[in-house]
């Protein structure tokens, strides 16, 4: 079964197409509208009939970006009559470190002094979720880290975290920035697992998972 992964949680669109353990397509597109995804797939030699399932990152992430990617994934699922699977942005990032042995902490800025956060365990090329996706404050984040034994690999928005004095212990490892993105190929891999396990989402009811409600500016006319 070939699964298309769509990630639009950041300022770029990342696509991946996998079949079992084989990567058929992996690309990142900047300044591209989500409705042109099929155009770029065709340019890469991928026809709609080759797509047997679609997975999409549903958050946390950019408000407009998540909406666009999800709308495209829903349209594909309904038009092609194929299964749809939702994927956590944090889990997609964790998969960048799938080859390590230890605990993975994925951290993304939420708002003010809060962070989107989740813990995963990595062992023998597999990822296991240890917590749900959480929104927590900086001091709570530090408390959780201090309870972890063994090696812990931090990935995501790490500027403030990196300078926190309690995190200078030898068992903390900071991932490079290149590992901090929710690539579409990881979304496809996770989606393949979910769809094979029967964890399929309804395109009519699936919505983005925002850490906070979007803030809209008011204009006085």
Q: Which residue has the tokens 């008011």?
A: 218
CATH topology match: 2-89+181-196 vs 90-179:
yes
Give the model confidence (pLDDT) of 14-63 as tens digits.
Answer: 999 999 889 999 988 876 666 678 888 888 888 888 899 999 999 998 77
Q: Which residue has the higher pLDDT, 166 or 49?
A: 49
Mean pLDDT of 70-98: 96
All structural domains of the chain with their residue ranges? 2-89+181-196, 90-179
Residues near 166 by Cβ (< 8 Å), separated by ≥ 6? 142, 145, 146
Q: Which of 28-37, 57-66, 177-186, 211-220 is most confident? A: 177-186
Residue 61 vs residues 72, 90, 109, 111, 195: alpha-carbon distances, Å: 16, 9, 9, 11, 23
pLDDT on residue 54: 97
Query: CA–CA separation, 120 vs 96, rounded Å?
Result: 12
Mean pLDDT of 89-103: 96
Residue 154's closest CA among 96, 89, 212?
Answer: 96
**Phi, psi at residue 96, to the nearest 5°?**
-65, -20
What is the CATH number assigned to the segment(s) 2-89+181-196? Answer: 3.30.420.40
Mean pLDDT of 202-214: 81
Instruction: Check pLDDT > 90 for residue 165.
Output: no
Residue 162 vs residues 24, 49, 126, 165: alpha-carbon distances, Å: 36, 46, 26, 8
Task: Name the CATH code of domain 90-179 (choices 3.90.76.10, 3.30.2030.30, 3.30.420.40, 2.40.128.30).
Answer: 3.30.420.40
What pTM was computed for the model? Answer: 0.90
Burial class (CB in 10 A: 0-12, 13-18, 19+), 26: middle
Residue 8's closest CA among 87, 119, 121?
Answer: 87
% pLDDT > 90, the chain: 55
């Amino acid at each position: 079964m070939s699964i298309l992964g769509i990630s639009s949680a950041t300022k770029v669109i990342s696509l991946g197409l996998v079949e079992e353990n084989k990567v058929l397509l992996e690309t990142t597109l900047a300044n591209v509208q989500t409705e042109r995804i099929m155009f770029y797939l065709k340019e890469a030699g991928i026809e709609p009939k080759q797509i047997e399932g679609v997975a999409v990152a549903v958050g946390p992430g950019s408000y407009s970006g998540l909406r666009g990617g999800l709308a495209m994934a829903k349209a594909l699922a309904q038009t092609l009559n194929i299964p749809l699977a939702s994927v956590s942005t944090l889990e997609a990032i964790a998969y960048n470190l799938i080859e390590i042995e230890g605990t993975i902490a994925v951290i993304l800025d939420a708002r003010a002094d809060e962070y989107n956060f989740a813990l995963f365990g990595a062992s023998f090329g597999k990822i296991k979720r240890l917590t749900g996706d959480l929104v927590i404050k900086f001091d709570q984040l530090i408390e959780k880290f201090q309870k972890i034994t063994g090696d812990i690999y931090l990935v995501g928005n790490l500027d403030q975290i990196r300078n926190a004095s309690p995190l200078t212990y030898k068992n903390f490892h900071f991932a490079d920035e290149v590992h901090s993105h929710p690539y579409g190929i990881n979304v496809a891999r996770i989606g393949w697992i979910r769809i094979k396990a029967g964890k399929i989402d309804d395109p009519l009811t699936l919505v983005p998972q925002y850490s906070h409600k979007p803030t809209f500016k008011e204009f006085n006319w």
